[in-house]
Each structure stands twice: as C-alpha cells, then as structure tokens.
C-alpha cells in the first residue's frame, strides 16, 4: 500500500464504495427530493449541478476528509503564497498572480512582481489598441488584417480556444490564424491565405527553443522577406511572446517588440499572460481584462471557500471517487456550445500534461490511478457518434456537460433544441431505462455526469470556467501527491526526434535503433531519395 492508500479516509472510502455497490442514482433521487439543492452550487457566475453522480452526503464528507488528510488546503495556500511547489523545476506556480488585479502585492522570493505584471498588461494594451485602431500599420502603410499566432502546446491551445469561444466579441475585420504543427501543411495553408503586407506574426514560445515553433517562425520570416520586404520591415510584422529575451533577439525580433512573461507561469497555464496577446488583439484589451477578472473571481472562491462548498475541489473530489474507487479511466468534456468546440483539446493539455504522472513527490511509484484520459466533442454531434458507448458500453465514463443559458445567435429554436438534448442526455445517462424483454434496448443508467451552466458565454464567465478546471486539476494532483506543474514525459520523444532528424539528413542506411525503427527510417529515406 502507498502513503495515500493507507490513509484512514481512503480506507473508509473503499468500505463506502462497497456499501454503495447496489445503490442506483435513480433511487437516490427518489429518496431525496432536495438532492439537487444539496448537490449543486454557484460561484463566479458558474453553476454546477453535480447531483447526477453516485454520491451521498457521506461520500462528500469522506472525500473532504481525504483532501484534509492529504493537506490540500495547505498546498493551496502554498501556491497562492508563491512557494516553489513545482519542485522538479524549482519554481513557484503563480498563474493566479496574472489575474490578481486588486493591487495586492505578489511576492516571488520576496520581490513584488505585481508591477511587472501590470507593465506587461499596459504594453499589451498600447500595442493591441494601436493594431486595432490602425495606428500600427504594415511596412507599406496598410492596416493589419490578419494575425498569425505561431506557437504550440500552451502557446497555442489557450489563445486558439479562447479566440474561438469569444468569436462573438471578436473584431470581424481581424482574421485570426493559428499555426502550431511542424507538419508543413499547417503553415502552408495559412501563408496561402494571407498578404505579407497586412499580416502580423506573433511568435509565442515560453522557452523560445521549441523546434516546431522556431521552424514555423523561420518559414514565415523567409516567406515574408521573399515578398520583397526588407529586413527592417520585420519589426512591423513580427512580435514575440516569451520568457527568453536572448533567444528572441537571436531569432531577429527586436526585444522592444517582445511581450514578456515569467518562468513561474506554466505553459498550459499561460493564456492569462502575454501568451494571451492574440486574444487581446481579437477581442480588445478591456474584454481580455474581463477574462482575467472572471478567473480571479473563481480564484477567490477557490482560495476562500471550505472544501464542502468549493466548486473546483468538489469536481476534483468527485473525479477522484470515480477514478480511484469506481474505476473510471477517462473523462468526457461535452460542451453544448459550438463556440467551445476547442475546449476539450485545451483541457486535454491542462489535465493530462499536469496529472499524467506515475511518480509521486516522494519519488515513489504511485501504485494507484492518477490523471484520466480527457476527451470530448461538442453536443449534439457527439450524440450521433460516440454516445452509444456512454449509454450502453461496458466502460464507466463520467462526463461534464457544459451549457450556456443564453445563445449568441438569433436562432432561438435551435437553442431550445440544443438545451433539450443536453438535459435529456444527462437524464437518460442517470436514469437508464430497463428492458428485460429486449436486452438490446436495456439502459442500465447510473452513469455519472456534471452539468456546468453559464448564463452566457462571455469573457468573464469563460475566465471563471477555465479557472474552475485549473483548480480542479490542482486539487487532484495534490491528493495524488504528484507534481502537476512539470512535464518531463514529453522530453524523451523530443530528444529522439533530434537524433532521427540528423539520421534522415545524413546519407546511408540507419542501423542504430531496433529493427522496427531502423526499417521505418530507411523506408522513408529510400522514398525521399527518389
């Protein structure tokens, strides 16, 4: 047994799980008319109904006891206080500081970093106002019509997802493009659709060493210069967002055109920093600051609310119940809102890069399940694709249904049908529908869901929703005793790719790998030579 599984609350949860084995959600609802009041709550404009989970008051009490026995509250305090909780990289974890706009000091090693955060926001405001108002122009004097963000992972997924989510708030005259993949088709498609004289490239990389981003940025630079623009024109068309000024300068971008952030902001937690520049260009700085304010409201709720009523903590604890006690291995994100169609991809990085770990903070193998697979697609599309497995498959797949009360389009009939479907799905998954005579029509039910409701998808509510998930991931990592803020797992593949890249470039047969890898490389080399 591990340190975690030996804890009294963990052991009590095992007994509780066994005692719940024959309980159904249908019965729990029938027994308690106030179940939804008991198991729902609202914070920072986000209403969460978590009543359709196989939980009772006792489940929540035991899960909160587990959180206390694993010192979640102390760890939460350590994060907000700027302690170096990212121990393998020896860094604080302070994305919450980026949305702390109250003027309160934010200390990193005794230094108040709040003025630096404000200075970058001011620089972002100046720049985005200039581009949006047409004061900042391309080198031929024409206004900027297209913005191309070049970045990957956290330097892509957040800004891309938010720009999609907040499309109704975006400037129609500014077309946003995102290039992330090293696959040349990605940049090729974008470069074919934009005009060098009216395009602004934002090269976004925390480290400014990421191979994909640097190769894409070089390709963009060559394409730009090939249009006849001289090197001095680069300053009007390329800006950088990074923590690494030296590498930005070495690439050839004037550091006056660089928007800084800091190593205490993790890549997947960085959309609140200057990495949000494309968002601010698209929706304007005031709306970007509303996004920060929404996240800050959720931060205050998370920091100040007892676990029993704390929404991020409750979602995390219910997730632990499902992963570690009920055997769920994945978690579905089902936004019933087309504008949130990139949310599952964003949450995949947030959750899986944070909690996809086997080794605990003590350096031991966990010996229990940690982060689940996160996946999803918007409803109602998913209903006509993979929902069959949710209803009648053998796997238990908890799901978050995310829905907005107010539509962002004039087609009310569509919205009514969309919401009817969302509510019907969670009801069907919970209740099931027994059929003894026709087993293929039998629905067991008892399939857990959360329904997360926003009044309207706007910058503030989106900020709160994203912070809700960030803190959920934090609480789960704290309970599992892992470091949610490093990502060493991606390094090995990166290193091997560099070796193979060299081998592809050199003449001759490759023999240094296993037979499968040798053969794949040699097959490509032979094809490439023809």
**Quick one: 267 or 371, whose CB is closer to ligand F6P?**
267
Cβ-based nearer residue to ligand F6P, 64 or 204: 204
Residue 484 near ligand F6P by CB under 6 A: no
Least distance to ligand F6P, CB of residue 67, Å: 27
Query: CA separation (Å) from 67 to 52, 57, 60?
Result: 22, 15, 10
State yes or no: residue 213 binds ligand F6P (CB under 6 A).
yes
Q: Minimum CB separation from ligand F6P for residue 489, in Å?
A: 9
Question: Which structure tokens are listed for 214?
Answer: 């640097």
User: Any contact of residue 487 with ligand F6P (CB under 6 A)?
Assistant: yes
Contact 379, 335 (CB under 8 A): yes
Q: Does 206 bind ligand F6P (CB under 6 A)?
A: yes
Decide whether 324 or 355 has the Cβ nearer to ligand F6P: 355
Annotated active-site residue in 27, 58, 494, 501: 494
| Nearest approach, Cβ of residue 91 and ligand F6P (Å) | 13
Tokens in use for 81? 């206080």
Secondary structure class of 191 (helix, strand, coil)? helix
Please pick, among 353, 377, 470, 503, the residue that the annotation labels catalytic.
Answer: 353
Question: Count residues contacting ligand F6P (CB under 6 A)?
Answer: 14
Rounded to 5 degrees, what angle do the CA atoms 197, 202, 205 make? 155
The CA-atom distances, in angstroms, between 468 and each of 291, 347, 403 are: 13, 11, 15
Q: Which is nearer to ligand F6P, 50 or 269 (CB)?
A: 269
Closest CA to 270 of 178, 204, 218: 204
Q: Which is nearer to ligand F6P, 240 or 464 (CB)?
A: 240
- Residue 267 near ligand F6P by CB under 6 A: yes
Task: By CB under 6 A, tell whether 334 contacts ligand F6P.
Answer: no
Three-point CA angle 492, 332, 459, nearest 5°: 90
Which one of residues 53, 70, 86, 205 is an interface residue with ligand F6P (CB under 6 A)?
Answer: 205
354: contact with ligand F6P by CB under 6 A: no
From 51, 53, 70, 155, residue interacting with ligand F6P (rule: CB under 6 A): 155
Residue 411 appears among annotated catalytic residues: no
198 part of the interface to ligand F6P, by CB under 6 A = no
**16 is a contact residue toward ligand F6P (CB under 6 A):** no
Nearest distance from C-beta of residue 93 to ligand F6P, angstroms: 13
What size, in residues, is the chain?
Answer: 530
* Phi, psi (rounded to 5 degrees) for 134: 85, 5
525 is an active site residue:
no
* Nearer CB in complex with ligand F6P: 95/236: 95
If binding is defined by CB under 6 A, does position 290 make contact with ligand F6P? Answer: no
Residue 184 to residues 10, 180, 196, 354, Cα–Cα distance (Å): 49, 10, 18, 28
Tokens of 515: 């037979």
* Rounded Cα distance, 129 and 123, in Å: 10
Which region, judged by CB under 6 A, interacts with ligand F6P, from 36-44, 82-90, 146-154, 171-179? 146-154
Q: What six digits make up the tokens of 228? A: 């006849």
Please report how close the Cβ of residue 238 comes to ligand F6P at its closest, in angstroms. 16
Whether 509 sits among the annotated catalytic residues: the reply is: no
Separation between Cα atoms, residue 504 and residue 485, nearest integer Å:
34
- Indicate whether 273 belongs to the interface with ligand F6P (CB under 6 A): no
Specify the stretch interacting with ligand F6P by CB under 6 A; choose among 131-139, 195-203, 204-212, 424-432. Answer: 204-212
Q: Assess whether the previous peptide bond of 380 is cis (omega < 30° from 0).
A: yes
Residue 371 touching ligand F6P (CB under 6 A): no
Starting from the edge strand earliest in sequence, which strands make up the sheet with 146-150, in order?
A: 175-179, 146-150, 199-204, 238-242, 258-260
- Phi (first) and psi of residue 236, to 5 degrees: -85, -15
> By CB under 6 A, is residue 161 in contact with ligand F6P?
no
- Closest to ligand F6P by CB, 267 vs 284, is 267
Tell me how far, at minimum, the Cβ of 79 lies from ligand F6P, in Å. 18
DSSP H helical segments within 432-514, as ranges? 459-480, 491-505
Strands (E), 94-195: 107-108, 111-112, 146-150, 175-179
H helix or E strand, kind and range, residue 403: strand 399-404
Binding residues for ligand F6P (CB under 6 A): 152-155, 205-207, 210, 213, 267-268, 353, 487, 490
Catalytic site positions: 353, 384, 494
């Amino acid at each position: 047994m591990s340190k975690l599984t030996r804890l009294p609350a963990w052991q009590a949860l095992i007994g509780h799980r066994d005692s719940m084995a024959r309980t159904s959600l249908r019965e729990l609802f029938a027994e308690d008319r106030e179940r939804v009041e008991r198991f729902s709550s609202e914070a920072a404009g986000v209403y969460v109904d978590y009543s359709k989970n196989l939980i009772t008051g006792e489940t929540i009490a035991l899960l909160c006891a587990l959180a206390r026995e694993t010192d979640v509250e102390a760890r939460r305090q350590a994060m907000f206080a700027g302690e170096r909780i990212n121990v393998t990289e020896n860094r604080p974890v302070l994305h919450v500081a980026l949305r702390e706009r109250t003027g309160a000091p934010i200390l990193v090693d005794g230094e108040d970093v709040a003025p630096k955060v404000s200075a970058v926001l001011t620089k972002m405001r100046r720049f985005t106002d200039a581009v949006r108002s047409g004061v900042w122009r391309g080198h031929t004097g024409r206004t900027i019509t297209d913005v191309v963000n070049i970045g990957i992972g956290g330097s892509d997924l957040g800004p891309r997802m938010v720009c999609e989510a907040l499309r109704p708030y975006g400037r129609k005259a500014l077309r946003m493009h995102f290039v992330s993949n090293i696959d040349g088709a990605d940049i090729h498609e974008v470069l074919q659709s934009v005009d060098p004289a009216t395009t602004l490239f934002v090269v976004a990389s925390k480290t400014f060493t990421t191979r994909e981003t640097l190769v894409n940025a070089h390709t963009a630079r060559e394409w730009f210069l090939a249009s006849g623009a001289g090197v001095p024109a680069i300053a009007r068309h390329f800006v950088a967002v990074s923590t690494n000024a030296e590498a930005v300068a070495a690439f050839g971008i004037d550091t006056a055109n660089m928007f800084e952030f800091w190593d205490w902001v993790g890549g997947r937690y960085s959309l609140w920093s200057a990495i949000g520049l494309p968002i601010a260009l698209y929706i304007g700085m005031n709306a970007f600051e509303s996004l920060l304010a929404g996240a800050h409201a959720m931060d205050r709720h998370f920091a100040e609310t007892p676990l029993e009523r704390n929404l991020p903590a409750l979602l995390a604890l219910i997730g632990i119940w499902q992963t570690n006690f009920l055997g769920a291995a994945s978690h579905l994100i089902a936004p019933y809102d087309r504008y949130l169609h990139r949310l599952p991809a964003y949450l995949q990085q947030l959750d899986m890069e944070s909690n996809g770990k086997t080794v605990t903070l003590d350096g031991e193998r966990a010996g229990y399940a940690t982060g689940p697979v996160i996946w999803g697609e918007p409803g109602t599309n998913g209903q006509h694709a993979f929902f069959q497995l949710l209803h009648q498959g053998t796997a238990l797949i908890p799901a978050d249904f995310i829905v907005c009360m107010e539509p962002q389009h004039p087609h009310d009939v569509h919205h009514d049908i969309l919401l009817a479907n969302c509510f019907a799905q969670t009801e069907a998954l919970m209740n099931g529908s027994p059929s003894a005579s026709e087993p293929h029509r039998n629905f067991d039910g008892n399939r857990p869901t959360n329904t997360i409701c926003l009044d309207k998808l706007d910058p503030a509510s989106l900020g709160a929703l994203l912070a809700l998930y960030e803190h959920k991931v934090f609480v789960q990592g704290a309970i599992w005793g892992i470091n949610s803020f490093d990502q060493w797992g991606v390094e090995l593949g990166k290193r091997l790719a560099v070796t193979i890249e060299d081998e592809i470039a050199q003449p001759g047969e490759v023999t240094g790998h296993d037979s499968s890898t040798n053969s794949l490389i040699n097959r490509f080399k032979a094809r490439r030579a023809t």
